[in-house]
Structures are given as C-alpha cells and as structure tokens.
Amino acid sequence: DDEDDSLARANMLSEYLFDEVGFSANQEDYYDPRNSYLNEVLERRLGIPITLSLLYMEVGKRLDMDLEGVGMPGHFLVRVKSGPEDILVDPFHRGIFLSEQECARRLQKIVGDTVAWDKRYVAGVSGRELITRILRNLGAIYAAANDYERVSRVDEWINALQVPPTGVTSP
C-alpha cells in the first residue's frame, strides 16, 4: 500500500541522513548564521529545522518521494504525501513522525496559549516562501548581532525574491 511504502521510504531516508551520513540539529549554537547557509550545513552536517528540512526534501525528491515543506510557526517540517493520511516529518529531531495533534502541542510549547491552533499552520509552502523564511531567519540573526550591513544585504535578497523576474508573467 502507498502509505506503508511512503512510511518505509521516509524512515530509510531519515536513517541515511541522520545515522549514516551524520546530519544533526545544531542545538548548541542554534543562531549561528552558518546553520542557514546550505553549503555550510552540508559541510558541517549541522543545521536548523528549515535547512535540515530543505536537505531532506531535496534528497527525498531524488528518490521520487512526494514531499513539501511545511512552514509551521516556530518550527519547519516536511510533509510526505502518502495517500489519505500524509506524514509530517521533523528532520531537526532526526526525522521523527508527527501527527497534527503533536504539532499543535509543540506550537503551544513554543508560543504558549497566545495562539490558537489553525490547520493552516501545517499547510505546504512554495520554494520561494521557504527561501524567504530562511532569509528572514538570517536577517534576524544578523540584526541581533548588530550586523546591519548583512541585514541590508539579506533584505535585498528577500526583495528580489518577491518580484518576478523581468519578462516573466504570472497567470
């Protein structure tokens, strides 16, 4: 059945990335800007939820897995599309599977009772939205370090992503 196959493939991908290759969450220095640069994540084998999710998705797509990024507030995830019941994967925590209810509990831990759960929190995001979120994270890291030259550069990249290239029309 498709769901069992998707589960097995997601497990195999997690075992490969996190056990065999050794990618892991950088919990000791979460706000290190290198966690937001994919080349650094690949070299150091350390990342944050969004960059480990991006890595998971790109490797998974090469294995013909149907995946999409999930921009949950405070913690990025990956959806494995597997028929009637999609699987949510958390690459930051070694690829564990999460239910929507577990995601709601995690969000409550992050933001407290100030935000009510909304199914849209586990909606898929586009590639442009994913890259924009990485850049916003990076801009916040540089702003916290008072590195306004880099903040300005990151803002330029974000603005460039928001405007379709010249000659491209949208439907």
Q: What is the pLDDT of residues 103-160, one digit of tens each?
A: 999 999 888 888 888 999 999 999 999 999 999 999 999 999 999 999 999 999 999 9
User: What is the DSSP code string of 44-68?
Assistant: H-EE-HHHHHHHHHHHHHHTT--EE
* Calpha distance 100→81 (Å, rounded): 14
CA 147-137-37 angle, 5° bins: 85
Domain ranges, residue 144 = 126-164
- Tell me the percentage of the chain whose pLDDT exceeds 90: 77
71/150 same-domain check: no
pLDDT exceeds 80 at position 17: yes
Confidence of residue 6 (pLDDT cuts 50, 70, 90): confident
Structure tokens at 135: 């850049």
What average pLDDT does range 37-61 have in this prediction? 98
pLDDT exceeds 90 at position 170: no
What confidence score (pLDDT) does residue 163 get? 67
- Letter string b/e over residues 20-44, b meaning 16 or more CB atoms within 10 A of that residue's CB: eeebbbbeeeeebbbbbbeebbeee
What average pLDDT does range 66-83 have in this prediction? 93
Q: What's the total number of domains in the chain?
A: 2
132/64 same-domain check: no
77/139 same-domain check: no
What confidence score (pLDDT) does residue 115 get? 82
Q: How far is CA 68 from CA 49, 78, 102, 153, 157, in A?
A: 14, 6, 19, 28, 23
* Calpha distance 51→71 (Å, rounded): 12
62/90 same-domain check: yes
Mean pLDDT, rounded, of the chain: 92
Q: Of residues 84 and 55, which shows the higher confidence score? A: 55
* Calpha distance 149→78 (Å, rounded): 32
142/119 same-domain check: no
Which amino acid does the sequence have at 82? S
What confidence score (pLDDT) does residue 116 get? 86
